[in-house]
Amino acid sequence: MRVVSGIQPTGNLHLGNYLGAIVQWVKMQQEAECLFFLADLHAVTIFNSPDQMRTNVREMAAALIASGVDPDKSVLFNQARVPAHAELAWLLNCTARIGWLNRMTQFKDKAGKNREGMSIGLYAYPVLQAADVLIYQATHVPVGEDQKQHLELARDIAEKFNTDFGTDLFTLPAAMIAGPAARVMSLRDGSAKMSKSDPSDMSRINLTDDADTIAQKIRKAKTDPEPLPATMEELDGRPEARNLVGIYAALSGESVNHVLGHFAGQGFGAFKPALAELAVESLRPITTRYNELREDHAAIDAILVKGAEKAAAKAAPTLKRAYEAMGLFR
C-alpha cells in the first residue's frame, strides 16, 4: 500500500481540507508508506506573487505538521523540488486526450466564462495531478469528494499509457473518500463547497482562526428554523443543517445518526454552541502548534528539502521506465 496526496499552498488550511483530507492523511501514516506534498506547481496555474508563493508554501507546510503530518513518518515535500513530477506530466500530456480534459468540472468552475483567458497550465492541471500519483505508484489517494473526477482521469491516463506502450508500468490508484466530511460545505451557502477561494471569510473556518472567530462564524452560519430530526434521511433538502451535523460528526468521530440521536428535537440555538465548543477544542492544539512553527523558516525548509530528496529517489525508477517505454533516449 502506498499513499500519496497533495494540497495546494494557497491561503489557509480550512476545515474542509482538514476534515476531508488531512485527518485521513494523519491516520494513514500509521498504516502505510505515505508521501504528502504541497502542490506548488498546481498553485502557479493561477497568478500568485512570488513572495506570496514562498509564504504560502512554508505556512501550509507548518499547518500540515501542526495538524499531525509527521515528517519522520511520512515523506513531506513541495512538488517544485522534485522535477520528476513536471517531467512525467509532459510525457502524460501526450497520452491524455483533449476530450478527457474538456470534461473536467473543476476547470469549468475555475475558468467560468473566461476560458480563453486562462493559462494552459490550468487546463493541463489534472495531467500534472495524474503524474503526482503515478510517479510513486500510489495505490491509495486520500482526498475530498471534489477530487474524485481528477483521480478517475489519472486511472484513465495510466490505463491508456500501459495499453499504448504494452507495459504494466503504472499502478491504477484508488481514491479514498471517506467519512461524513468528504464534502464540507460553505457556512453561508449549503450548496457551495467550503473553499479557500470564496471571497467571504465567514464561509469557512480556517485552522488559524481564534476561538472567538470560530464561535462567531458558527453562530452566524446559515441554518433553517426547524429542529434537528432523528435520522440522517430527514436531513434531505436541508443542506445547511446536514453540513453542520456532518462537521460535528467528523470532529467528534461519531456517526451522523449518533449525533442526531443526541440532538433530535433541539433547534440550532442549542446545537450551534455545542458545535462551536467542539470545533474550538478540536482546533486549539493545531492552532497553538501552527503559531509556534510558522516563523521557523529554517526548520520548515530543512524538512521540505529532506522530504524532496527522499521523494526524488522514489520517483526516479518510474520516470526512467516511462521514458524507456516510449522509446526515448535519456
**Active-site residues: which are they?**
110, 193, 196
Q: Please, what is the minimum distance in Å from the beta carbon of residue 269 to ligand TYM?
A: 26
Nearer to ligand TYM, 25 or 268 (CB): 25
Rounded to an integer, what distance in angstroms lies between the CA atom of residue 187 and that of residue 193?
9
Q: Please, what is the minimum distance in Å from the beta carbon of residue 20 to ligand TYM?
A: 2
Nearest residue to ligand TYM by CB is 20
Rounded to an integer, what distance in angstroms lies between the CA atom of residue 42 and that of residue 110?
13
Nearer to ligand TYM, 87 or 324 (CB): 87
Q: Please, what is the minimum distance in Å from the beta carbon of residue 176 to ligand TYM?
A: 10
DSSP-assigned beta bridge partners for residue 206? 14
Question: Which residues have C-beta within 8 Å of that of residue 139, sequence separation ≥ 6?
Answer: 1, 2, 3, 171, 173, 174
Residue type, 291: N
Nearer to ligand TYM, 71 or 126 (CB): 126
SS (H, E, C) 46-111: CCCCHHHHHHHHHHHHHHHHHCCCCCCCCEEEEHHHCCHHHHHHHHHHCCCCHHHHHCCHHHHHHH
Q: Please, what is the minimum distance in Å from the beta carbon of residue 37 to ligand TYM?
A: 7
Q: Please, what is the minimum distance in Å from the beta carbon of residue 69 to ligand TYM?
A: 12
The DSSP call for residue 20 is: I
Question: Which residues have C-beta within 8 Å of that of residue 90, sequence separation ≥ 6?
Answer: none
Nearer to ligand TYM, 82 or 143 (CB): 143
Nearer to ligand TYM, 232 or 299 (CB): 232
Rounded to an integer, what distance in angstroms lies between the CA atom of residue 243 and that of residue 141?
24
Q: Please, what is the minimum distance in Å from the beta carbon of residue 133 to ligand TYM?
A: 5
Cβ of 41: how many Cβ atoms within 10 Å?
24
- Radius of gyration for the alpha carbons in the chain, expressed in angstroms and rounded: 21
Nearer to ligand TYM, 121 or 267 (CB): 121
Q: Which residues bind ligand TYM (CB under 6 A)?
A: 5-8, 16-17, 20-21, 39, 42, 129, 132-133, 141, 143-144, 146-147, 182-184, 193-194
**Residues 110-133 as b or e (16 or more Cβ within 10 Å = b):** bbeeeeeebeeebbbbbbbbbbbb
